[in-house]
């Protein structure tokens, strides 16, 4: 995670606390037509403020902070965090500046990221080497890109630079889904990851094929997916080339090159 992202996270915690602790300010911004209504609104706000369950709100705000901390993927010392909050409220000096704190967290995250990338790369290479020996597996690039035909097709064949209509499901090596099409989508092979575009070429309409993609032909260390993830795609070819000159470019998807589109990402995989 970048330092810029960390700063945004700290800012979100501050803003969440600011708005949670100032309901009267939000109410005060509402315009009313009658003076009586203005008085009633103020009285209502005052009443709500008096009935505020401070311990409950405080605990809830703690959950807000906790969720943000968890999203960093960093194992904090919770006792020290609580002490830091208490010391800050008491006006005591911080043991380090914000920039220094962000830098320290960023360095640790980079170490973990690098280690995870190395481990995932080893897993991918071992899997593809072993997978190549299985009957029915076809290698398009040795230990880099493989496929198997799950259901034969009989229609038109996909060629390079085509714009096919497909249905797909993307999975990690453990079978966990990270993205899928809810219905058939038209994609541009020129704008997808190399493993996906090369793996589809040669498919016939009606064919269902599984691709096995090495990180070098996938997302590598980029994107939201774990770095150097081995990817598998189950693809059903609906139409070999769905492009016409009249097509609106906005209707043609570059997916799965851009798997950050939340609508096409399995929600459980993001938790």
State pLDDT tens for residues 78-98.
Answer: 899 889 889 899 999 999 998
- Residues 196/213, Cβ–Cβ less than 8 Å: yes
pLDDT single digits (tens) 128-175: 999 999 999 999 999 999 999 999 999 999 999 999 999 999 999 999
Give the lowest-confidence range in 64-73, 225-234, 258-267.
258-267
Paired tokens of 63: 């959950």
Sign of torsion, CA 160 253 149 117?
A: positive
pLDDT above 70 covers what percent of the chain? 71
Q: What residue spans define the domains of the chain? A: 3-95, 134-270
| Terminal C-alpha separation, the chain | 17
Q: Is the pLDDT of residue 250 over 50?
A: no
Residue indicated by tokens 């006006």: 91
Sign of torsion, CA 33 34 40 45?
A: positive
Fold of 134-270: Chitinase A; domain 3 (3.10.50)
pLDDT at position 258 is 45
Paired tokens of 138: 């076809």
pLDDT single digits (tens) 6-30: 555 555 554 444 444 444 333 344 4
pLDDT single digits (tens) 155-168: 999 999 999 999 99
pTM: 0.67
229 secondary structure, DSSP code: -
3-state DSSP call for residue 231? strand
Paired tokens of 54: 């401070």
């Amino acid at each position: 995670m970048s330092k810029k992202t960390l700063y945004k996270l700290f800012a979100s915690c501050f803003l969440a606390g600011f708005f949670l602790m100032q309901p009267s300010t939000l109410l005060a911004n509402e315009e009313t037509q009658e003076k009586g209504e203005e008085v009633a609104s103020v009285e209502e706000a005052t009443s709500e403020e008096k009935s505020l369950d401070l311990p409950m709100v405080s605990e809830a705000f703690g959950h807000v902070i906790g969720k943000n901390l968890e999203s960093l993927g960093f194992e904090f010392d919770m006792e020290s965090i609580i002490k830091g909050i208490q010391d800050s409220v008491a006006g005591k000096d911080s043991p380090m500046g914000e920039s220094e704190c962000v830098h320290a967290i960023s360095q640790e995250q980079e170490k973990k990221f690098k280690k995870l990338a190395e481990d995932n790369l080893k897993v991918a290479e071992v899997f593809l080497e072993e997978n190549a020996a299985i009957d029915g597996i076809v290698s398009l690039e040795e230990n880099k890109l493989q496929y198997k035909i799950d259901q034969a097709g009989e229609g038109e064949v996909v060629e390079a630079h085509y714009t096919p209509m497909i249905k797909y499901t993307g999975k990690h090596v453990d079978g966990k889904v990270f993205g899928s099409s809810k219905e058939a989508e038209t994609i541009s092979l020129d704008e997808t990851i190399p493993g996906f575009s090369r793996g589809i070429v040669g498919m016939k309409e009606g064919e269902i094929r599984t691709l096995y993609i090495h990180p070098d032909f996938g997302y590598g260390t980029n994107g939201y997916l774990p770095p150097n993830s081995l990817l598998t795609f189950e693809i059903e070819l609906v139409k070999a080339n769905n492009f016409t000159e009249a097509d609106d470019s906005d209707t043609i998807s570059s997916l799965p090159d851009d798997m950050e589109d939340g609508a096409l990402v399995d929600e459980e995989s993001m938790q």
